[in-house]
Structure 1
Amino acid sequence: MLNDNELATLRNRFRKDATFLLQGTASDDQDEKSQEEKDTKPLPRINRHSVFWIVASVAVTYYVDFLRVIMEDDDIKRWWFNVGLVLLGISLSLAMFCIVYLEWFKGIQHYDQEYPAIPPITTAAFIAASCSFNIALWPVWSFFTPLILFTQFMGVVMFISVLG
């Protein structure tokens, strides 16, 4: 068995560990409060990052004649392009359902907890749409296609974030 000296040492060690753990949870509470304060403090909508992506997207749209190519070019694999449009429509519809209906009308802030299947389905649909668009537009722009589409995507996302 343990003698009194070893028992006292063991007790002191547990007391120090308990004190350390209690101090750790107190600092965690302060971190949570600071995180809540960060959430309530609004961030600036317009910054250099968002302006860069919006300008880059407009420049790419202009210099590669994006809209004319999408509408008129015969090299586009139309089947893949249409599949990409359907998948993008699914992704955007689910996003609008979450933002407009669940958040604005129903007042559900954490819709991913209420409907846990929506975020992965939306993400999968968007990734599949981007792959379809890359396949469809590859004959037109070759290895520049992913760069062009990514720049367009970032420009749209940043433009929406500036508006919202």
Structure 2
Amino acid sequence: MLNESELATLRNRFKKDAEFLMQTSTSGDEGEKSQKEKDAKPLPRFNRHSVFWIVASVGVTYYVDFLRNIMENEDIKSWWFNVGLILLVICLSLAMFCIVYLEWFKGIEHYDHEYPAIPPITTAAFIAASCSFNMALWPVWSFFTPLILFTQFMGVVMFISLLG
């Protein structure tokens, strides 16, 4: 076993080595970050991914006659559809509150730190709305309903990302 002085020497050596490693890794990270920041380019607004989802959404809207079916089809379960609409309005209202009021007017970029309950409530409202819409529209499109609604959702999200 090591005696007291050998143990102290070993401890000091590891402490010096650790300090040296921390100094070199910290200075290396700063140079690396600045180089990465210099090389970073903003992503282009129009990319294949966005265009694909927008075109797919327009195609699905046309092919399944989405808007006419929503307005005129009597097979839709209206109670589930109304619940989905209410939850979607809640979700969109919270999103608009965060984007328009908190970010644009108040200048709060990290609103999830100021109002930590908003992201989980918005997420829960959106998930519940999508489940409600799937239940309401299942009699119309059967097992294609989740695919149709997901395509519509992705098309809207990609279109909004092009606007901002």
TM over 0.5: yes
* Aligned mates of 1:68, 1:30 — CA distance in 2: 58
User: Structure 2 vs 1, CA of residues 20 and 106 (structure 1 numbering), >3 Å: closer, same or farther?
Assistant: same
2:14 corresponds in structure 1 to: 13
TM-fit CA distance, 1:6: 4.2
Per the alignment, in what secondary structure is the counterpart of residue 52 of structure 1? helix
TM-score for the superposition, normalised by structure 2: 0.89
C-alpha separation in 2, matches of 1:26 and 1:131 = 50
Superposed CA deviations along residues 43-68 of structure 1, whole A, max 9, x for unmatched, are 21111000000000000001011001
TM-score in terms of structure 1 length? 0.89
Q: Identity over aligned residues, as a percent?
A: 71
The amino acid that maps onto 1:156 is V
Q: Matched residues in 2 for 1:15 and 1:77: separation? A: 71
1:64 matches 2:64: yes
Structure 1 residue 96: deviation in Å?
Answer: 0.3
Residue of structure 2 equivalent to 1:160: 160
Q: Give 2:141's aligned residue.
A: 141
Quote the residue 1:23 is aligned against: 24
Q: Which runs of 5+ in 1 are unaligned?
A: none
> Which 4+ stretches in 1 moved above 6 angstroms?
none
What code does the residue aligned with 1:150 have? F
Closer/same/farther in 2, CA of residues 13 and 151 from structure 1, 3 Å limit: same
Question: Which aligned pairs between 1:1-164 and structure 2 lie closer than 5 A?
Answer: 2-29=3-30, 37=37, 41-164=41-164
Deviates more, 1:42-51 or 1:9-18: 9-18
CA distance in 2, matches of 1:159, 1:34: 33
Count of residues in Structure 1 that have an aligned counterpart in Structure 2: 162
Distance (Å, rounded) in 1 between the aligned partners of 2:113 and 2:159: 28
SS in 2 for 1:43: coil
